[in-house]
């Protein structure tokens, strides 16, 4: 059975270190077979004054232990002067998709219980329970993680790059979730004003056990035309069913 939960993280203004991290445990009614978390939004900024952009980091990841999905979030923002010496803060909102282990409902006992032709057991009189078999798709969700790296580059944008992922079992549907963005103007060229930042994912099923994730990424200031070197990593999770 699939359950969906939402969560959010607030990162108070801080300076002196980064990226900041935060965690939350989300408890489900039964053991979790597999889970994936993706970002649904984020905000990040310098506090009190503006600065050039050196590096920005936002991301989430999930860890499953029994009935609990631990969600870890990270957020950081800095220019290239000093060492995280400018105050920054922000927030991240996220969604968790968890595939739960199927639990059979308790069956009635006692005189008068009957077994129907599908193997479902029920009771006569005022007390009645129906035994539903597990849905064949409830335990088929599979999650594959990956990332696309963009080496230092200038002269055009946004750029696109792809990564193929493989599933252990055949899947009919695939969907990609953004789990992390770590982008920067190349440190060797210094920081710059932020004019435009784009990060996008497109996920397509290639065949029964493969999918292709194409990421597009661009970062620039308002001077010139993509003339400042930029680089980064876009992280993702792909859900297949």
SS3 (DSSP) at 133: coil
Is the pLDDT at 209 greater than 50? The verdict is yes
Is the pLDDT at 122 greater than 60? The verdict is no
213-225 mean pLDDT? 91
- The beta-carbon contacts of 163-166 under 8 Å, at least 24 apart in sequence, are 163/212, 163/213, 163/215, 164/206, 164/210, 164/211, 164/212, 164/213, 165/210, 165/211, 165/212, 165/213, 165/238, 166/209, 166/210
Q: Is 115 within a domain?
A: no
Is the pLDDT at 119 greater than 60? The verdict is no
Q: Is 96 within a domain?
A: yes
* Percent of the chain with pLDDT strictly greater than 70: 85
Q: Is 221 within a domain?
A: yes
Stronger pLDDT, 110 or 163, i.e. the higher one: 163
Q: Is 183 within a domain?
A: yes
Q: Is 181 within a domain?
A: yes
The count of residues in the chain is 241
Q: Residue 54 — very low, low, confident or very high, per pLDDT cuts 50/70/90?
A: very high
Residue 134 confidence (pLDDT): 45
Which among 127, 81, 133 has a CA at the least distance from the CA of 108?
127
44-61 mean pLDDT? 94
Stronger pLDDT, 1 or 122, i.e. the higher one: 1
Which among 147, 59, 136 has a CA at the least distance from the CA of 99?
136
Residue 48 confidence (pLDDT): 87
Q: Is 119 within a domain?
A: no
Q: Is 10 within a domain?
A: yes
Q: Is 116 within a domain?
A: no
Where are the alpha helices (H) located in 91-239, listed in sequence order? none
215-227 mean pLDDT? 91
Stronger pLDDT, 78 or 128, i.e. the higher one: 78
DSSP letters spanning 202-235: EEEEEETTEEEEEEEEEEE-SSSSS-S-EEEEEE
Residues 35 and 108: beta-carbon distance below 8 Å: no
- Sign of the CA dihedral with 31 first, then 210, 207, and 233 last: positive
Q: What is the pTM of this model?
A: 0.81
When divided into structural domains, the chain yields a total of 1
Range of the domain at 178: 2-100+138-240
Is the pLDDT at 107 greater than 60? The verdict is no
SS3 (DSSP) at 188: helix
């Amino acid at each position: 059975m699939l359950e969906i939960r939402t969560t959010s993280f607030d990162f108070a203004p801080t300076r002196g270190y980064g990226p900041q991290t935060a965690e939350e445990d989300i408890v489900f009614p039964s053991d979790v077979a597999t889970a994936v978390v993706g970002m649904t939004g984020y905000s990040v900024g310098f506090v009190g004054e503006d600065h050039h952009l050196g590096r920005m980091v936002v991301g989430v990841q999930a860890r499953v232990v029994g009935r609990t999905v631990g969600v870890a979030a990270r957020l950081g923002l800095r220019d290239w002067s000093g060492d995280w010496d400018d105050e920054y803060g922000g927030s991240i909102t996220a969604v968790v998709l968890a595939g739960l282990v199927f639990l059979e409902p308790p069956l009635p006992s006692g005189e008068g219980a009957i077994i129907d032709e599908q193997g479902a057991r029920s009771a006569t009189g005022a007390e009645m329970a129906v035994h539903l078999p597990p849905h064949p798709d409830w335990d088929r969700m599979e999650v594959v993680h990956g990332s696309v790296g963009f080496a230092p580059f200038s002269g055009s944008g946004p750029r696109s790059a792809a990564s193929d992922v493989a599933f252990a079992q055949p899947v009919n549907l695939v969907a990609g979730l953004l789990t992390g963005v770590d982008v920067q103007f190349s440190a060797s060229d210094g920081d710059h004003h932020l004019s435009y930042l784009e990060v996008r994912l497109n996920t397509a099923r290639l065949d029964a056990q493969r999918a292709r994730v194409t990421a597009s990424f661009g970062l620039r200031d308002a001077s010139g035309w993509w003339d400042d070197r930029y680089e980064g990593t876009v992280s993702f999770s792909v859900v297949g069913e």
